Amino acid sequence: MSTISTSGRASRSYSAVPGQSGGPPLWRVAKALVLLVCIALVALPFLAVLSTSLADAAQINDTGGFVLWPDHPTLDSYRALLGGGLVSRAMMVSVGVTVVGTLVSLGASISLAYGLSRPGSYGQKPILLLLVFSLLFVPGIIPSYLLVKQLGLINSYWSLILPTAVNAFNVIVLRSFFTSLPRELIDAARIDGASEWRILTGIVMPLSKAAIAVIGLFYAVSYWNAFFNALIYINQSAKWPLQLVLQTYVVNNAAIGQGQTSDPAAALPPTVALQAAILILSIVPIIVIYPFLQRHLTKGVMIGAVKG
C-alpha cells in the first residue's frame, strides 16, 4: 500500500510541473487565456479593418471611424477601387513585379549558389567574399539612384526588380543547403555523362524544394511589400505598385480623388472605407499564398538545425 501511495504522489507531483500536459487546471486555464489574448490582439485589428471596408457610409458616419461589425455589408469600396482606377492598375503592377521579380531572383540566386557550392569553381572565393562584403556594406541611396539612372531604368518596371534581384543572404543560405546534399549523387550523375545544367535541374533542385520555397517566399514578400524603390525611381502614378498607393493614401492620408476610382462621376464611399479596402487588398495575396508554402516553410526553417 505504501508503494502505491508513493507512486501516486510521485505521479501527481510530476504532473503538476508547469508545461506538462497533465498540469493543474489553473495552469491550463492561464495558458488558454494568454493564447486567447494573443489571438485577440492579432484578429481584432484585422477584423476592424475588414469590417470597415465592408460597412456602408451611414454606419461609418455614425461611428465616426472604424466599424467592428458591419450591419449592412457592401462591396462599394472594392467596386470603386477595382473597376479600372488607380488601385486596380497598381495591383496589376504589384502582381507582375512580384511574379517576374521572384522568378528572376530565384533563377539568379539558384545559379549563383550552385556555382559557389561546387568545389573548384572558377572565382569561387572572391565571389563569396564579395557577397559577404555586400552584407556588411550597403550602398547609399544616391549611388544606387545614379547607377539606375545611368542604365536608363528610371520610370521603368525593371528599376523595381534589378536593383534587388539578388540577395546575398539568400544566396548564402542556398549555397549552404546545396553543399549539404550528398556529393555521391552528383558524382554518379557526372560519371553517367550528365551536364551541370542537368545535375542542377534534375538532382539538386528537386532535393532542395523546401529551401527554394522558403527563399522564393522571402523574395515574393519582399517584392510585394516594397515601395521605396518605386518612390525613388517611378515618376508616373500610373506605374505605381500597390504598396506605394497604400503609403500615399493610407499612411500619408492623401485624399482619394474622383479620377482615381472606377467611375469618376459616381459618389465615393467614405475615405476610411477606401483606406481599409486598400489595406485588405495589400494583405490578402500573401495570406492566400502562404498556406500552400507552409509545409515547405516548416521544413526550410530547419535548414542546418539538425545534422545526421
The pLDDT of residue 8: 47
DSSP class of residue 72 equals S
The amino acid that residue 99 corresponds to is: V
**CATH class entry, domain 79-300:** mainly alpha
Question: Grid coordinates 557577397 are at which residue?
Answer: 131
CA-to-CA separations, 234 to 149, 247, 298, in angstroms, rounded: 11, 14, 37
φ, ψ (nearest 5 deg) of residue 156: -115, 150
Q: List the chain pLDDT tens, one digit each, 308 residues.
A: 444 444 444 444 444 444 445 568 888 889 999 999 999 998 888 888 888 888 888 888 888 777 888 888 888 888 888 877 788 888 899 999 999 999 999 999 999 999 898 887 788 888 888 888 888 888 888 888 999 999 999 999 999 999 989 999 999 989 988 988 888 888 888 888 888 889 988 889 988 888 898 899 889 999 999 889 999 999 888 889 988 888 888 777 666 655 555 555 556 778 888 888 888 888 888 888 877 766 666 655 555 444 44
Supply the Cα-derived Rg of the chain in whole angstroms: 26
Domain extents in the chain: 2-74, 79-300
All 3 cell numbers of residue 117?
Answer: 557550392
- What predicted TM-score, i.e. pTM, was given to this entire model? 0.79
Q: How far apart are CA 141 and CA 157, in angstroms?
A: 18
Contact 276, 54 (CB under 8 A): no
φ, ψ (nearest 5 deg) of residue 241: -80, 170
The pLDDT of residue 265: 53
